[in-house]
Amino acid sequence: MARDKTILKALAGETQATPPIWMMRQAGRYLPEYRATRAEAGDFLSLCYNPDLATEVTLQPIRRYGFDAAILFADILLVPQALGADLWFVTGEGPRLSTVTTQADFDKLGPAADIHETLNPIYQTVRNLSGALPSETTLIGFAGAPWTVATYMVAGRGTPDQGPAHALKDENRPVFEALMDRITEATILYLSAQIDAGAEVVKVFDSWAGSLKGKDFEDFAVAPAKRIISALKEKHPGTPIIAFPREAGDGYIGFHAKTGADCVAVDDSVTPEWAAANVQKDGCVQGNLASRHMVTGGEDLVRETRKVVEGFKNGPHIFNLGHGITPDADPDNVQLMIDTIRGG
């Protein structure tokens, strides 16, 4: 049955007449049923760590839309928390963490091997989903890439330019590299445990890769991805891996070969035509409709959706947004997008 799943066919390099579809953040605040479950959980972290409720919100967009894949409901900052960082969420503002900017801060973190006690509820959610999803629906696990996770751990929050992490990288290289190494080790263990629990595909989100330039991109976006993918392929040789170095620009070129990724997801700062010529030639591509169309809808949504399908039609393609769907999106626009892809 697994071989009949359209996502897995695309990841194996098959070109399909209708691309499989899922959306980043497809289980989220734009859905009224998600907001109801979140209220039941009480707060965001309680939702992440409650396997029954996390399973429910993961299944909600599958029931509503029939996406070809479900992605585990969790958060990339659970790994820092499992390493010993303090983590909390400020309503309307997002995550906050205790910071790692010195050797003393780093020394307070636990070893990567100790993350599983904290993350066991996440693995249970994966096991729940593995048994609950429709037989045709692929289950995707995920983690944040080391650079992106490090930017939050250094700054203690999201920042517009990832400046604190760049400063640590430039001013205290030993601490920065030790932090990257610890996150990388933990990410390998975390994703491997998700695969053991039933994830059929895993994705590595490097949301802030675009702020790395030149050799830094090679050292801190490409090299960690290669290390993670190589380790996972050694232990789980049949599991496909999607990499998403967002806003990498020319860094997307050759990313398949440099890292061993089965699929490279691209954001909407590049056109489908450019990505087909420069990235899809090396393997499966995922993307890349601009998220704003889920808000504005209308003929622009239909036209741009068709443009993405057309642009990638000659190679393996998974249809997705260029980034996550936003809380102000209209659920009806998601259905319009799906109908446009599947209806021609």
Q: Which of 242, 294, 235 is nearest to 268 (CA)?
A: 294
Both tokens of residue 1? Answer: 């049955």
Alpha-carbon gap, residue 117 to 121, rounded angstroms: 9
Q: Is 328 helix (H, G, I), strand (E, B) or coil?
A: coil
Task: Point out the catalytic residue in the list 75, 105, 181, 330.
Answer: 75
Respond yes or no: is residue 25 known to be catalytic. yes
Sign of the torsion formed by the C-alpha atoms of 228, 16, 340 and 308 = positive
* Tokens of residue 328, six digits: 């102000």
Asked about 49 being catalytic, the answer comes back as: no
DSSP H/E element including 44: helix 44-48
Q: Which of 4, 34, 35, 38 is catalytic?
A: 38
pLDDT of residue 4: 86
How far is Cα 302 from Cα 340, in angstroms, rounded to an integer?
6
| DSSP-based three-state secondary structure for 46 | helix
pLDDT at 2: 57
* Count of C-beta atoms within a 10 Å radius of residue 203: 24
Please give the pLDDT value at position 344: 65
- pLDDT score, position 117: 98
Question: Residue 32 is part of a domain; what is its CATH number?
Answer: 3.20.20.210
β-pair partners for 320:
288
Within a 10 A sphere around the Cβ of 154, how many other Cβ atoms? 24
> Which pLDDT score, from 0 to 100, does residue 3 have?
60
- 279: part of which helix (H) or strand (E)? none
Nearest to 337 by CA among 286, 288, 297, 310: 297
Calculate the alpha carbon distances from 326 to 86, 88, 94, 228, 293 in Å. Answer: 26, 21, 14, 29, 10
**Cα 174 to the chain's mean position, in Å?**
28
> What is the pLDDT tens value at each position of the chain, 344 positions in all?
456 899 999 999 999 999 999 999 999 999 999 999 999 999 999 999 999 999 999 999 999 999 999 999 999 999 999 999 999 999 888 999 999 999 999 999 999 999 999 999 999 999 999 999 999 999 999 999 999 999 999 999 999 999 999 999 999 999 999 999 999 999 999 999 999 999 999 999 999 999 999 999 999 999 999 999 999 999 999 999 999 999 999 999 999 999 999 999 999 999 999 999 999 999 999 999 999 999 999 999 999 999 999 999 999 999 999 999 999 999 999 999 999 999 96
Catalytic residue among 25, 182, 227, 292: 25
Helix-strand-coil split of the chain, %, nearest 5:
55, 15, 35
- Is residue 205 classed as helix, strand or coil in its secondary structure? strand
Helix (H, G, I), strand (E, B) or coil at 112: helix
Q: Is 300 in the active site? A: no
Instruction: Report yes or no: 184 and 146 within 8 Å, Cβ to Cβ.
Output: yes
Residue 277 CB neighbours (<10 A):
12
Report the pLDDT value the prediction gives residue 91, as an integer from 0 to 100: 83
Please pick, among 34, 49, 65, 152, the residue that the annotation labels catalytic: 152
Q: Is 115 helix (H, G, I), strand (E, B) or coil?
A: coil
For residue 226, the enclosing domain spans 2-343
Question: Full-prediction pTM beyond 0.95?
Answer: yes
Q: What is the pLDDT of residue 183?
A: 98
Cis peptide before 288 (omega within 30 of 0): yes
The total number of structural domains that make up the chain:
1
DSSP codes, 133-199: S-TTPEEEEEEE-HHHHHHHHHHSS--SS-HHHHHHHHH-HHHHHHHHHHHHHHHHHHHHHHHHHT-
Q: What's the pLDDT score for residue 5?
A: 97
